[in-house]
Chains A and B, each alone.
Chain A
Amino acid sequence: MEKTIRVNRLSKIEGHANLSVTVEGREVKDVKMEVFEAAQYYEAMVCGKPFHEVPITMGRICGFCSQAHHNTALAAIEEAVGVEPTKQTKLLRELLQIGQILTSHSLHLYFLALPDYLGFDNAIQMASRHPEYVQQALELKHAATELVVAIGAREIHSINALVGGFSSVPTKSKISVLAAKLKQSKNAALETVKLFGSLKVPEVESPPRYACLSAEGEYAVMDGVIESSECKTPERGKCIVLHKNEYRRHVQEYLKPYSTAKFASFGGETYFVGALARVNNNFKLLSEDAKKAALETSTRFPSACPFANNLAQAIELVHFHDRAIEILDGLTQTIKQEPIPRITPKAGKGIGVTEAPRGTLIHEYEVGADGRVVTANIVTPTAQNLRHAEQTIKQYVPRLLHLPDDKISLELEKLVRAYDPCFSCSTHFLKLKLDRKR
């Protein structure tokens, strides 16, 4: 016999989707992430447009991840037209990306995820009972916002990060103010690790392949090779390393009729990208304080439990504070307005790969001799995680079947939220439909 449970329009995630689960007895027949966000056509809309406009347009794919799209498009376009940005430009872009990760993680952790664990419907209700958490969240948010606004001139959809360089840069004194502010808010980041380390989360088994950027000697964010490893095998066995130019051979995007978001697999295998993948694969490269904070929790990395993604985000808050402070301290004496080179368009191809808040983001463009885009391709973190989420839900549901339907829905929503999906990027929201066949 079949039964249907629907939680229509899963909330507190970014975008519109339904989750449909079909159960017969104790067996899960089918899990579908039905993304019904209106499809995005950015890859088609930039065709025929001049290259300089592309990063600014691509930032509009998503308000949550705009700097990440903007930066990744910049890297790809610059490779295509043959421009090498200066060291200062690269550092400022990294600061923007870090600012994006800090704002995105703190918003997700405190606004969208935490209310679930403390038993509140939403952050507004939580605020009156736990002003201390709201205080921490606000402190993190203020510091990260100030960073993004100072570098990119606006928090959402930055203005001055152009192909070739920045059209405006902060003053030296602003750079020192930012460093001082982050040194203060770092404490809130450390408290966030303690808080999320103390939350009880279910142990859920999930497919063990995790992928992210990897680079020699650094916790890669802006460049590197794409490395995927199985976190459960010893010595991170079955590690696959891909140069970015090879991504098309291994990262396969495919479509499902019930979803406007694309799905992706890594060499035919299900995998996970995002904070948990980065912390799993690159734990040793985290800042000393981030590692120390992580080791003080009871969770050990690598972890194959998607709920640990929340804790991984908290750990990254500490790491990226440290990295941002390091960059800012280095720029305090040297920052200056650099001229943006005049770019003569030439035909070429370019691929940009960065670590967005939710994982590895790939942009690829082909630019014609007239400087206009010929083709564009984007692989988003959420598209890469959809298949992983479906498979984890399939493994998790049998353990929940003794619960009433509304509780099952809540638990599954928590799980989906731990992935921090972004359907605006992968197109775009989640309703839960549970079919119980008995």
Chain B
Amino acid sequence: MRAGVFSFTACYGCQLQIIKMEELMEVLKAVDFVDFELVSEKKYDGPLDVAFVEGGIARDDQIPELKKIRERTQFLVALGACACDGGIPAIKSFMDEGEAERIVYGEEFRKHLHAVSPRPIDKYVKVEYYLRGCPIERQEFHKLVKELVVGRRPREKRHSVCLECKIKENRCLLDYGVPCMGPVTNGGCFALCPSNNAACEGCRGALQDANLAAFTALLERLGVSRARAKQMLERFSGRTSLFESFVEKMRE
């Protein structure tokens, strides 16, 4: 299997998860990473069986680059929160146009930045599979690769962090007044954060059938203002259609 790993606007944490995985040597027996800039000079520009794309799109010159990757590959995997849902860099997309540029670089410098409002990659290209998390979980990447190698179509999980948290018999942080995003967030992480007594931050993106009205009402009962609830939804996956339309309604 010929694979490529590409990076747009992100922190490289997801690529690092790949090169740091215990099973890397085993994976390399089945997968030929022909285009993987972080570990090797670029020499290959041909067709790919699978492309793993990390990061969202935040510069205008990234758009044609992403489209070219799409043309080269049979199967495209969005790798991690930034590629899947926009991630932390997409917080900027909720700020006033040009405001972030002005604060960090100053008005004069803005023209050099080629900035476009940060979005997940599926705004520009078709994505076959979303591998979630900030960063991705190594075992999930391993499982996905095995499925792709044997030619099985991988299926995404459709349950919440809450479900996994209950299976682990953790105490519910919401019961203790901690605003936790477990109920509206995709599982797959085995409730890693709540298992460490820390609130789910929502990094795996919006659960498809999340009841956001009920969730924000719950937050309100915990003393979380609507403005703050909106920030929580916008933090990792505010640019997924479910959260986007809800946040839009909250604004009204």
**Residues of A in contact with B (beta carbons under 8 Å apart):** 8-9, 11-12, 14-16, 36-45, 47-50, 53, 56-57, 60-64, 66, 103, 107, 111-112, 121-124, 127, 141, 145, 153-157, 159-160, 162, 167-168, 255, 257-258, 260, 424, 428-429
Closest chain B residue to A123, Cβ basis: B39
> Which of B8, B39, B88 is close to A124, meaning CB atoms less than 8 Å apart?
B39
Note all chain B residues with C-beta closer than 8 A to A255: 105-106, 109
Given contacts A44-B100, A154-B192, contact A62 B12 (CB under 8 A): yes
Question: Is B97's CB within 8 Å of the partner chain A?
Answer: no
For chain B, the bracket of interface size reads: 35 or more
State whether B113 touches A60 (Cβ < 8 A): no
Question: Is B198's CB within 8 Å of the partner chain A?
Answer: yes
User: Shortest distance in angstroms between B99's beta carbon and chain A's nearest beta carbon?
Assistant: 7
State whether A157 touches B135 (Cβ < 8 A): yes
State whether A159 touches B193 (Cβ < 8 A): yes
User: Shortest distance in angstroms between B3's beta carbon and chain A's nearest beta carbon?
Assistant: 13
Closest chain A residue to B99, Cβ basis: A44
Note all chain B residues with C-beta closer than 8 A to A12: 38-41
Note all chain B residues with C-beta closer than 8 A to A50: 228
Note all chain A residues with C-beta closer than 8 A to B41: 11-12, 121-122
Alpha-carbon distance between A11 and B36 when the two chains are bound, in angstroms: 9
Question: Is B231's CB within 8 Å of the partner chain A?
Answer: yes
User: Shortest distance in angstroms between B101's beta carbon and chain A's nearest beta carbon?
Assistant: 7
Which residues in chain B, 48-83, are within 8 Å of chain A measured between CB atoms? 58-59, 61-62
List of 3 A-B pairs having minimum Cβ-Cβ separation, nearest first: A63-B13, A44-B100, A167-B197
Given contacts A11-B41, A44-B95, A255-B106, contact A153 B196 (CB under 8 A): yes
Note all chain B residues with C-beta closer than 8 A to A167: 196-198
Note all chain B residues with C-beta closer than 8 A to A127: 25
Contact with A along B181-204 (1 / 0, CB 8 A): 000000000001100111001000
State whether B196 touches A60 (Cβ < 8 A): no
* A-B Cβ contacts below 8 A, count: 147
What are some 24 contacts across the A-B interface (CB < 8 A)?
Answer: A9-B37, A12-B41, A14-B38, A38-B62, A39-B58, A39-B101, A39-B113, A40-B89, A40-B104, A44-B92, A45-B100, A60-B13, A61-B11, A63-B12, A63-B16, A64-B16, A121-B41, A159-B196, A160-B196, A160-B198, A167-B198, A257-B109, A260-B113, A429-B37
Alpha-carbon distance between A123 and B88 when the two chains are bound, in angstroms: 31
Note all chain A residues with C-beta closer than 8 A to B13: 60, 62-63, 66, 156-157
State whether A38 touches B58 (Cβ < 8 A): yes
State whether B105 touches A11 (Cβ < 8 A): no
Given contacts A8-B42, A39-B104, A57-B88, contact A66 B11 (CB under 8 A): yes
Given contacts A39-B115, A44-B100, contact A122 B135 (CB under 8 A): no
User: Shortest distance in angstroms between A149's beta carbon and chain B's nearest beta carbon?
Assistant: 11
User: Shortest distance in angstroms between B235's beta carbon and chain A's nearest beta carbon?
Assistant: 8
Note all chain A residues with C-beta closer than 8 A to B101: 39, 41
Note all chain A residues with C-beta closer than 8 A to B249: none
Question: Is B149's CB within 8 Å of the partner chain A?
Answer: no
Alpha-carbon distance between A77 and B162 when the two chains are bound, in angstroms: 30
Note all chain B residues with C-beta closer than 8 A to A153: 192, 196, 198
Note all chain A residues with C-beta closer than 8 A to B197: 160, 167-168
Closest chain B residue to A377, Cβ basis: B104
User: Shortest distance in angstroms between A169's beta carbon and chain B's nearest beta carbon?
Assistant: 10
Note all chain A residues with C-beta closer than 8 A to B28: 124
Question: Is B87's CB within 8 Å of the partner chain A?
Answer: yes
User: Shortest distance in angstroms between B88's beta carbon and chain A's nearest beta carbon?
Assistant: 4
Contact with A along B29-41 (1 / 0, CB 8 A): 0000100011111
Alpha-carbon distance between A38 and B114 when the two chains are bound, in angstroms: 8
- In the complex, besides A39-B115, A41-B101, 4 extra interface pairs with C-beta distance below 8 angstroms are A38-B8, A38-B89, A153-B192, A156-B16
Question: Is B233's CB within 8 Å of the partner chain A?
Answer: no
State whether A122 touches B196 (Cβ < 8 A): no
State whether B40 touches A122 (Cβ < 8 A): yes
Closest chain B residue to A65, Cβ basis: B11
Alpha-carbon distance between A203 and B13 when the two chains are bound, in angstroms: 34
Note all chain A residues with C-beta closer than 8 A to B114: 38
Question: Is B17's CB within 8 Å of the partner chain A?
Answer: yes
Alpha-carbon distance between A153 and B25 when the two chains are bound, in angstroms: 25
> Which of B12, B61, B89, B91 is close to A64, meaning CB atoms less than 8 Å apart?
B12
Closest chain B residue to A122, Cβ basis: B40
Alpha-carbon distance between A78 and B173 when the two chains are bound, in angstroms: 24
Question: Is B20's CB within 8 Å of the partner chain A?
Answer: yes
Alpha-carbon distance between A325 and B14 when the two chains are bound, in angstroms: 29
Alpha-carbon distance between A167 and B180 when the two chains are bound, in angstroms: 14
State whether A45 touches B12 (Cβ < 8 A): no
> Which of A45, A155, A424 is close to B88, meaning CB atoms less than 8 Å apart?
A45
User: Shortest distance in angstroms between B37's beta carbon and chain A's nearest beta carbon?
Assistant: 5
Question: Is B9's CB within 8 Å of the partner chain A?
Answer: yes
Closest chain A residue to B25, Cβ basis: A127
Closest chain A residue to B232, Cβ basis: A53
State whether A39 touches B105 (Cβ < 8 A): yes
Given contacts A66-B13, A156-B13, A424-B11, contact A47 B39 (CB under 8 A): no
Note all chain A residues with C-beta closer than 8 A to B160: none
User: Shortest distance in angstroms between B6's beta carbon and chain A's nearest beta carbon?
Assistant: 11
Note all chain A residues with C-beta closer than 8 A to B33: 124
Question: Is B103's CB within 8 Å of the partner chain A?
Answer: yes
User: Shortest distance in angstroms between B81's beta carbon and chain A's nearest beta carbon?
Assistant: 9
